[in-house]
Amino acid sequence: MTLLFFLSSCAPSQRTETFTITTYNAYAFFDAYDDGTEFDGFSHSDGYDGERYEERVRSMAILIGRNLSSSDLIIFQEIESKAVLKDLLDNGLSGKGFCYYGLAESGDGQLSVGYISKIKPSRTTVHSIPGHRSVLGLSFYIDESLITVYGLHFKSRLNDGNEERIEECSYLRTLLEESGSLTIASGDFNIDPSYGDEAMGIFSAGYPEEYPLYVSGIPDDAGRGVYFAPSLDNDIVLSEKGTHSYQGEWFFYDMHLLSEECWDGLGWEYDTAWITALPEMKDELGRPLCYDPSTGRGYSDHFPFTVRLVKR
C-alpha cells in the first residue's frame, strides 16, 4: 500500500518555528465514481455525480485554504479514496504548500483516514486489528527531532460500538508506548472522556482504575500511560462547546493526545489548540453544518480541531 504521494507541480514549504496539526472529519467524502459502497444519497442516481462532487471539492478546498492553511498536516476522516485528496490539492491547496498526501485504505469499502501535508513524512505506516479501521502512522524529522503522528477514526457510536472502542484504545496505547519519540494521536475518537466513557478515563477522576487509556488536561500528568488532551486544558479558551453536536448535546470526539515529550524542554513543545468554526460552517443553531448531497450545501457534522507545537 502506497501512503505517500507527491504533487510534482507543488513547491514544498520551508520549515518554520511551529508544527501545526489539524484533525477534521470530512463527513462521507465520496469521490466521483460509483462503486456500490456509497451511503444513501451519495450515488450518481441520487444526484451526487461528477459535477456535484467537483463543487464539493472546490468548496472544501476554499474553506481549508482560507482557514486551515496555517496547518502543516491535516488528518482527515471519512475519505473514500486518495483521488479526493489529490483533487483537494489540485483545487488550490497545493498553492498553500500542501504537496504530500496519502490514505490508509482499508480495502473493504469503508471510508478511511487520510492526510495532506506540507512536510514530507520520513516514514508512513498502517496499523490495524481485524474488524477495525486502519490507523495511519506518519513520522517526521523536523530540525533533527522525530515527531510521530497517528491518525485515526474509532468505531462509530451507532449501534453502541463500546467494546470495539475499548479494543481500539488498548491498541492505540500500545502504539503510543512503543513509539519512543514525541507522539501525537489525532482523529475522531468517537469518545468524549468527560462523559465517563469506559474506553478512556480522565486521570484525575479515576486513576488507578483500569481504563485502556488515560487522558488529562494538565500537562504535568502526562507520562506513565497518561496523555495530554488539549480539549481538557482549562488554561485555553475554546470557541465552541465541542466539535460535534448530537441530539442537543456537544461532544469533543475530535481530539489530539500528546505524549510527555511535549514538555521535556528538548525541541518541540506544546503551545496551544483551537477549534475552527466559522459562520458558514454552522447551521442556524450554531451546530456544524453537515454536508447535504441533495443540495451541495454544508461541509461536515464536525468542526476541525487544531494543535500547535513550537520549537523551543
Q: What CATH number is associated with residue 21?
A: 3.60.10.10
Q: pTM (2 decimals)?
A: 0.96
Domain count, the chain: 1
In a domain, 86, yes or no: yes
Contact 304, 29 (CB under 8 A): no
Q: Where are the alpha helices (DSSP H) in the chain?
A: 50-67, 82-88, 162-178, 203-206
Residues of the chain where predicted confidence (pLDDT) is lower than 70: 1-2, 8-9, 13-15, 107-109, 207-208
d(CA 30, CA 39): 9
pLDDT of residue 108: 62
pLDDT of residue 136: 97
In a domain, 5, yes or no: no
In a domain, 55, yes or no: yes
Residue 85 structural domain:
16-311
User: Tens digit of pLDDT for each residue in 134-187?
Assistant: 999 999 999 889 999 999 999 998 777 889 999 999 999 999 999 989 999 999
d(CA 236, CA 131): 37
pLDDT of residue 79: 97
Residue of 283, 282, 280, 258 lying closest to 271 (CA atoms): 258
In a domain, 6, yes or no: no
Q: Give 198's contacts (C-beta < 8 A, 6+ positions apart).
A: 162, 166, 211
pLDDT of residue 161: 82
In a domain, 232, yes or no: yes
Contact 89, 74 (CB under 8 A): no
Residue of 35, 23, 81, 18 lying closest to 270 (CA atoms): 18
Contact 71, 22 (CB under 8 A): yes
